């Protein structure tokens, strides 16, 4: 084992967890109304708690255990059995513990992203049960197919840090859940504005910071590939932020901080599957294109079909992940990573086909699997809160824990119900 690789991977793991909480929690918490700040942050925080336990008990084994027919991992690592200080998976230069917890951080934030599509109306018991079932039957198999030696890995689909496994799965699952659970009662009656842009920006900046651990940590070592993915992450984020800013300036006649930050996140999502497979210029292009793809999804597709994806989890992560996975099939080059394959623009059109198969697989897995899991959850507990609880806000109606203590909280809640 290598001490430098181990040190970097421990840091990268901690950064990804910090990206989850407080990063995603603040990002989502700043976007919702002041009646649902605590409940929205709870979804992120509790997913980290729940998934960490599930991952140790069985999730990691299903994702990275000995391959069974290309579809699922074996039971080698149940309860972290056979996970120890030895080199991970026999070929890496980091302890098995480190690799397993790094992957745990990925699994946890993927679940948390889904909560953005259904914030403000899903019941808390349903969210906990959904998280356990979703990570077991959706995420773990997909992670095995792509990263654990499953059939997509064998076919040659490329996903450096989670375009299909993380972003398409979470984004499409968020959309499916939003449709199944139904829109907020006030969805089309009023314009929902972020209640605290400062919290949102702190969250966005933390996500950007965390993405360096997310993407560069996926090199699983401290080397030149780590540096490449680090550079690609920065450039794609900047390109996405600038592109969104100017698109919004042109279309809506004013640039906004929320738009620029959202564009940066779109660029980060887009480059995630490609980060270790493309040149820096290609990463710049991927970030530039991610912005209009996601902008169109949020402002036109969502408006056209009127689904209530509360915090645009599908618009940013779903569509951004689809573009990023396809872009990997266009721009991938072995000149920067010999472990990958060339893409279409480097003489290998077959790679684009493999990427499209991966995209369609993730969409089907997320759509069908999430629908079935939600129907199962609804047998045991209601999926959404009552109208009264929703209008009061979940911070008070369920948690009895307002984000902002003021003398007007009770009066505001009473007015909302009436």
Contact present, 159 and 358 (Cβ < 8 Å): yes
- What is the predicted pLDDT for the residue at 303? 87
Q: Is 5's pLDDT higher than 70?
A: yes
pLDDT band for 188, please (50, 70, 90 cuts). Answer: low
Give the Cα separation of 127 and 374 in Å (integer).
10
User: For the CA atoms of 327, 106, 291, 169, what is the dihedral angle to 10 degrees?
Assistant: 70
Cβ of 238: how many Cβ atoms within 10 Å? 17
Q: What SS3 state is found at 217?
A: helix
Q: Is 22's pLDDT higher than 60?
A: yes
Pick the CATH number of 3-382 from 1.10.357.10, 3.90.180.10, 3.30.1330.10, 1.10.3430.10: 1.10.3430.10
Stretch 62-73: mean pLDDT: 97
Beta pairing class for 72-73 and 67-68: antiparallel
Give the Cα separation of 203 and 20 in Å (integer).
9
- What is the predicted pLDDT for the residue at 90? 78
Give burial (CB, 10 Å; 0-12/13-18/19+) of 334: middle
Instruction: For the chain, give the percent of residues with pLDDT over 70.
Output: 96
Helices and strands per DSSP (H, E), number in the chain: 20, 2
Q: Is 418's pLDDT higher than 70?
A: no
Stretch 276-300: mean pLDDT: 97
Q: Is 138's pLDDT higher than 60?
A: yes
Contact present, 366 and 134 (Cβ < 8 Å): no
> Residue 122: what are its φ and ψ, rounded to 5°?
-75, 140
Contact present, 372 and 380 (Cβ < 8 Å): no
- What is the predicted pLDDT for the residue at 89? 85
Lowest mean pLDDT among 90-99, 109-118, 132-141, 229-238: 90-99
Task: Please state the domain extents for the chain.
Answer: 3-382
Give the Cα separation of 268 and 315 in Å (integer).
14
Give the Cα separation of 394 and 142 in Å (integer).
32
pLDDT band for 187, please (50, 70, 90 cuts). Answer: confident
Give the Cα separation of 366 and 291 in Å (integer).
23
Q: What SS3 state is found at 26?
A: helix
Stretch 307-323: mean pLDDT: 97
Q: Is 56's pLDDT higher than 70?
A: yes
Stretch 127-140: mean pLDDT: 98
pLDDT tens across 325-341, in order? 999 999 999 999 999 99
Q: Is 410's pLDDT higher than 50?
A: no
Q: Is 27's pLDDT higher than 80?
A: yes
């Amino acid at each position: 084992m290598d001490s430098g690789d181990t040190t970097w991977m421990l840091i990268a793991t901690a950064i990804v967890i910090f990206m989850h909480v407080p990063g995603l929690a603040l990002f989502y918490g700043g976007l919702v109304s002041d009646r649902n700040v605590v409940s929205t942050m709870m979804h992120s925080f509790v997913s980290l708690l729940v998934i960490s336990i599930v991952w140790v008990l069985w999730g990691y084994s299903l994702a990275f255990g000995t391959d069974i027919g290309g579809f699922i991992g074996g039971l080698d690592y149940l309860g972290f059995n056979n996970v120890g200080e030895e080199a991970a998976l026999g070929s890496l230069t980091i302890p098995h513990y480190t690799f397993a917890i790094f992957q745990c951080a990925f699994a946890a934030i993927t679940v948390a992203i889904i909560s953005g599509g259904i914030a403000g109306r899903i019941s808390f018991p349903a969210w906990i049960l959904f998280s356990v079932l979703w990570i077991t039957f959706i995420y773990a198999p997909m992670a095995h197919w792509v990263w654990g030696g499953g059939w997509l890995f064998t076919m040659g689909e490329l996903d450096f840090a989670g375009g299909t496994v993380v972003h398409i799965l979470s984004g499409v699952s968020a959309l499916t859940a939003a449709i199944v659970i139904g829109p907020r009662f006030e969805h089309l009656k009023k314009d929902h504005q972020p209640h605290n842009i400062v919290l949102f920006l702190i969250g966005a900046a933390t996500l950007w910071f965390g993405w360096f651990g997310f993407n560069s940590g996926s090199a699983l070592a401290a080397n030149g590939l780590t540096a490449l993915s680090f550079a690609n992450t920065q450039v794609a984020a900047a390109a996405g932020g600038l592109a969104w800013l100017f698109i919004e300036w042109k279309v809506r006649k004013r640039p906004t901080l929320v738009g620029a930050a959202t564009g940066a996140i779109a660029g980060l999502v887009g480059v995630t599957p490609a980060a270790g497979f493309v040149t820096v210029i290609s990463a710049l292009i991927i970030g530039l294109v991610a912005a209009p793809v996601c902008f169109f999804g949020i402002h036109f597709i969502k408006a056209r079909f009127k689904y209530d994806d509360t915090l645009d989890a599908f618009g940013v992560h779903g569509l951004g992940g689809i573009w990023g996975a396809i872009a990997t099939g266009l721009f991938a080059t072995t000149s920067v990573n010999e472990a990958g394959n060339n893409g279409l623009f480097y003489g290998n059109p077959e790679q684009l086909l493999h990427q499209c198969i991966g995209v369609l697989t993730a969409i089907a897995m997320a759509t069908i699997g999430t629908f079935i899991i939600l129907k199962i959850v609804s047998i045991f507990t209601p999926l959404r809160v009552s109208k009264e609880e929703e209008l009061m806000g979940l911070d008070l109606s369920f948690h009895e824990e307002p984000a902002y203590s003021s003398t007007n909280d009770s009066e505001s809640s009473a007015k909302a119900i009436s």
